[in-house]
Structure 1
Amino acid sequence: MTSAGRSHSPLFRRPVLCGLAALAVAGALTGCQVTVRDKDRAEPGAPTPAATETGGPSGPDSVGDRYVPGDGNGGYDVQHYKLKLAITPGGAKELDGTAEITASATARLSRFNLDLTGLDVAQVTVDGAAAQHQRQGSELIVSPAKAVEKNATFTVAVRYSGTPQPVVDPILGRYGWIRTSDGVFVACQPSGAHTWFPSNDHPSDKATFDFEVTVPEGLTAVANGEPASKVPSGDGTDAPGDDPNIVPAAAGRRAVTTAWRVKDPMATYLATVTVGRFGVKTGKTPGGIPIITAVDPTVSAVPLDVFHAKSAEITDELVKLFGPYPFTSTGGIVDNAAVNFALETQTRPVYSALGADQTIIAHELAHQWFGDSVSVTRWQDIWLNEGFATYAEWMWGERIGVETVQEKFDGLYADSGNRELWNVPSGNPGRANMFGRSVYDRGGMTLHALRKKVGDDKFFDILKTWAREKRHSNATTPQFIQVAERVSGQSLDTFFDAWLFQRGRPAL
């Protein structure tokens, strides 16, 4: 994620340069259950299975992540989400949906929880049989007619409707389901997914997805993955051209349905179904990776063709640095949303009305490796997402002549009195600072200091090894340290302790 504006919102990174004018001249463990290994330690206070009133076992109503209290659930491992959604922006109810969730029980379950906030639930079934359900805050508590046995695969279907509301958090800011002038912008980090579909809303439980999205005539819904049908394109007046993969958005129909499929596991917060009037372009990067981009034409500083080409170029260049691209397509969505951030929604990052300069594109596309494919096990380790993406941003800035990575590092290091940077340990910043400057900038500096310590060859080998070995799974900082030590042949505990876990500016 990247952000603009310096405020109490921890989404702050640095001022965002709007527009793409510079671009024109110059961009698997499915739903794994975490096992504590070696240097890892279990979260204090993690919930344990409870019992129902009838004495049967129930899944925990939280994964015990202190950075997002109450998020996630236990007792099952989601394999797949199938979401059938009718979205009517500005309607009496904007969303009418059915979620079919296929999961594997990790314990015998007489009851289990899903995360869901603020929407009306009409019906719940488990394996086709009606199930009792009740609401408790952001929890949907499901009691199947028959207990689900341990290791059994089961499907829970939830029919629901309403108007999702954005999350407004005094620490984390405003995110989730954001209305725009012509649709909705959906960006859910860290835990806004359960405002629009029932889920196990924590990145430690990743799953594949199918979306079937119906929107009014003239609008386009763009989701993650690849479309199973042609994608509507245009602003309601312009034809999409001769691209065989897209059709005019206004085609004389009252509603348009598009299906999208995500073949690789995805964390819930990375899901999007952004809706609006978009120009859409498809194709392949020069390196052969399928690419789909969408731009709202009212964001005039972002030409679709230029954004498409730069996203393709940057994807291919990052492959050289980090190894094979981890997903089946790349791209991006630029929408007219009045928010001050971009987000690495899987395969298709979303950018707001602020636009997307080259370094922002590099940041969000680097997340496809670091954050999306290799996802955090707990939010404490978010520097594994943001520090890595920030370093990619700096490397792209050096490539296009903004400033070298060393110059960036030196400038930050010279600011010895910066309490925001040096008094917050990026390896455990606390909830109030999980999107703060230390996570981004000190996280990026940690990688540059590691690069200087082990040399370029070993450094990039570490990054490629990490991306390869943890592909489509969840990981922790201790596991990254283990990889760095193994690949470099050096003992690095003291180094990482100083850079990630101690307050104060590390000595060079």
Structure 2
Amino acid sequence: MKQIILLMSLCISTLHIVTAQPQFKTQAQHTCADSRLLGTTRMAVATQQHMQLMNMYDVTFYGLDLALERNSAYITGSVTTHATVKSSPLSVFAFELHPSFTIESVTINGAQQSNLTRNGSDVSVNLSTIVAAKSKVVAVINYSGNAPNGGNAAIGNGFNTARVSRWGNDVTWSLSEPYAAYEWWPTKQVLTDKADSVHVAVTTSAENKVGSNGLLTNTLNLPNGKVRYEWESRYPIDYYLISVAVSDYDEYVQFANPAGAAKPVPVVNYIYKGSLDTYKNQIDFTPPLIEHFSELFTLYPFAAEKYGHSMAPIGGGMEHQTMTTQSTFTFTLTAHELAHQWFGDNVTCASWQDIWLNEGFASYAEYLGLQHYSADAAQSWMTDAHNRARSATQGSLRVPDTTNVGRIFNYSLTYKKGAAVVHMLRYEINNDALFFKALQNYQIKFGSGTASTADLQRVMEQTTGKKLGYFFKQWYEGEGYPVFNVAWNQRDRKMVLVSEQATTGKTPFFRTDITYQVQTTSGTETFRVRQTKPTQQFVFTVDGEVLGVTMDPENWILKEVNQIVKNSNLPVPDFAPIVSPNPVSGNFATITDLNFTPTTVVIFDRIGRKMGTQTIVQQENIQLQVSTLPAGLYFVQFSDGQQTRQVKFVKL
């Protein structure tokens, strides 16, 4: 969403650039997290009855024509809304506008209207002429007044002005997420009703620049020391992503060259006057991040227009479509807000209950961006994300009360647990090519529109062939995380491991794959198993004496490990699977001595990637098809849903 959270992101993982190579450092600044939710708890604006009236029409276009200054919250101008009436005739045109504004006139399809009713922010216009179903509506609303100063947006006011003391700049800006667009323009705050396009024109003093959505199509010098900036975007856009920022900015333009773009994508940065030397090195990461994310998620969604930044003192960032608003530039903040152009702007959550689809994926993009430059920095980021997610044992990713802004943008749940769940989904799929292909399919299928968590699940299942209902049930709807106690013992080459799982929240059990790293006198061996019940036994064949066991060494799973201990009293089975021949040089390997009847077999390579599955059709000697496997070391896992055994073999 807004990137208020961004702020948080930026505080938690800050990129300090002191040379040509990025230097990464993790910080913990709770004041940054606090700034994400300035002001009082915010409630949704429109009443249910008024929402029903607004949903009588679909918006196709917004045109904002405003007069603004960099040191004032006073707004005067007009907003033109084009819409299509739905299936019933339209007798009332409804919209939202804060009562601090005076409505000077309303014109519907060229006819001035006189019968207006205002109930707080709910405005109803009883039309002099009813508009037929499926017909077009053009509403022009002229208004003026001072924007309210109630701190009701996610990180402050919907429209604000302030002085940046460090640079001596006055700045005026908007920030509408989630319910504050009505604090600066007449609007319909419904997520699922995106406008097909938007024009934003702002008249201001000649020394100012105005940043907004899309392309700057015209700059007109006007009498009396005024200038008019005209921005146009032809991409679908949600109400809260329309923005303005006004100041005596310096302009710094870059270009990104993502694969598949018809031309370079301009990156237009409006930054505080005199600040370029301070921020340039950090801003310069934007084009390569656009190129990297385009490879991972699909081409930058607004490549025919631009990307960019307008600076404002918001204590973080807000992903306004094609021109993010940021208070500063750090690697993770910039990565987070940029990723929102895919997750939040191109595909917007259909309800604030699914805000994790915006914020969780944008937060995970911080990790992906760091991973592109430094594995250590990425791992540090994920460790911090898990720590913060574990601090929220109550509450799910699903937001049950979408009238509560504090709950919508809960930092530990929506941002950090959201990112952790995306990371676990990647691990669960266990195939990066399929994982990122699924993300691309999600962008393609729902781009320019909205989506729910159920939509994401369906795309993931269709792309990967995996059933993921259990995953989303426990991690999206569920609460808490698993806590493990592990005991192991060894006799000869046979090792037994017993994992006991408890939980911290209301979810009684988390079904999950787990990777165990076993250190022996002969080296390190890795086993990936699936825990399907609270207490489960696994049997491995190992070389050498076991020296220690590590659970989830690459930190994929949101969890807590109480202890991993050797228990010399733990019985070690007298049997273990045998592979013959081993090494395998032909097309088949035979498995004997399982001593139980497995139903499935899964083959993993030496780093835990799933290479294939087979359904068991014979109950004694099992024939494994290995002809398609390249040469290397493999692990075979057998399970009947209750017991699990694992054995390794070498393919020549």
Shorter-chain TM-score above 0.5 = yes
Asked if 1:501 corresponds to 2:477, the answer is: yes
**CA–CA separation in structure 2 for the residues paired with 1:403 and 1:18:** 14
Q: What's 2:516 paired with? A: none
Cα drift, residue 101 of structure 1 = 0.5
Cα drift, residue 341 of structure 1 = 2.4
Please report the TM-score for the alignment, with normalisation by the length of structure 2: 0.63
Cα drift, residue 12 of structure 1 = 5.0
Structure 2 counterpart of 1:279, from 222, 235, 250 = 250
Q: What's 1:61 paired with? A: 50
**CA–CA separation in structure 1 for the residues paired with 2:331 and 2:440:** 23
Q: What's 1:160 paired with? A: 143
Asked if 1:15 corresponds to 2:3, the answer is: no
Q: What's 2:55 paired with? A: 74
1:63-91 Cα distance to aligned partner (Å, 9 max, x none): 6xxxxxxxx93111100011111113445
Matches within 5 A, 1:68-467: 73-90=54-71, 94-106=74-86, 107-117=88-98, 118-131=100-113, 132-169=115-152, 172-181=154-163, 182-207=170-195, 208-230=197-219, 254-287=225-258, 288-297=264-273, 299=275, 302-303=278-279, 305-306=280-281, 308-327=283-302, 328-337=304-313, 339-352=314-327, 355-401=328-374, 403=376, 405=378, 408-410=381-383, 412-413=385-386, 418-420=390-392, 422-428=393-399, 430=401, 431=404, 432-436=406-410, 437-454=412-429, 455-467=431-443
Q: Percent identity?
A: 25
Structure label with greater radius of gyration: 2
1:196-235 Cα distance to aligned partner (Å, 9 max, x none): 1111122221111011110012111111100112599xxx
CA RMSD of aligned residues (A): 2.8
Cα drift, residue 310 of structure 1 = 2.0
What is the DSSP-based 3-state SS (H/G/I as helix, E as strand, rest coil) of the residue aligned with 1:389? helix
2:181–2:240 contact (8 Å) kept in structure 1: yes
Amino acid at match of 2:320: T
Cα drift, residue 108 of structure 1 = 1.2
1:114–1:200 contact (8 Å) kept in structure 2: yes
Amino acid at match of 1:183: V
1:133–1:142 contact (8 Å) kept in structure 2: yes
Relative to its length, the structure with more strand (as a share) is 2
Aligned pair in 2 of structure 1 residues 407, 459: CA closer, same or farther (>3 Å)?
farther
Amino acid at match of 1:256: V
**CA–CA separation in structure 1 for the residues paired with 2:382 and 2:69:** 47
Cα drift, residue 141 of structure 1 = 1.1
1:20–1:301 contact (8 Å) kept in structure 2: no
Cα drift, residue 133 of structure 1 = 1.6
| Structure 1 gaps, min length 5 | 6-10, 28-45, 49-59, 64-71, 233-250
**CA–CA separation in structure 2 for the residues paired with 1:494 and 1:97:** 52
Please report the TM-score for the alignment, with normalisation by the length of structure 1: 0.80
Amino acid at match of 1:272: S
Count, aligned residues: 440
2:219–2:228 contact (8 Å) kept in structure 1: no
Structure 2 counterpart of 1:26, from 22, 25, 28 = 22
Aligned pair in 2 of structure 1 residues 4, 128: CA closer, same or farther (>3 Å)?
closer
**CA–CA separation in structure 2 for the residues paired with 1:95 and 1:406:** 46
Cα drift, residue 433 of structure 1 = 1.8
What is the DSSP-based 3-state SS (H/G/I as helix, E as strand, rest coil) of the residue aligned with 1:168? coil
Amino acid at match of 1:223: S
Aligned pair in 2 of structure 1 residues 20, 413: CA closer, same or farther (>3 Å)?
closer
Q: What's 1:474 paired with? A: 450
1:451–1:459 contact (8 Å) kept in structure 2: yes
1:4–1:340 contact (8 Å) kept in structure 2: no
Cα drift, residue 20 of structure 1 = 6.3
Q: What's 1:483 paired with? A: 459
| Structure 2 gaps, min length 5 | 24-45, 164-169, 259-263, 483-509, 513-652
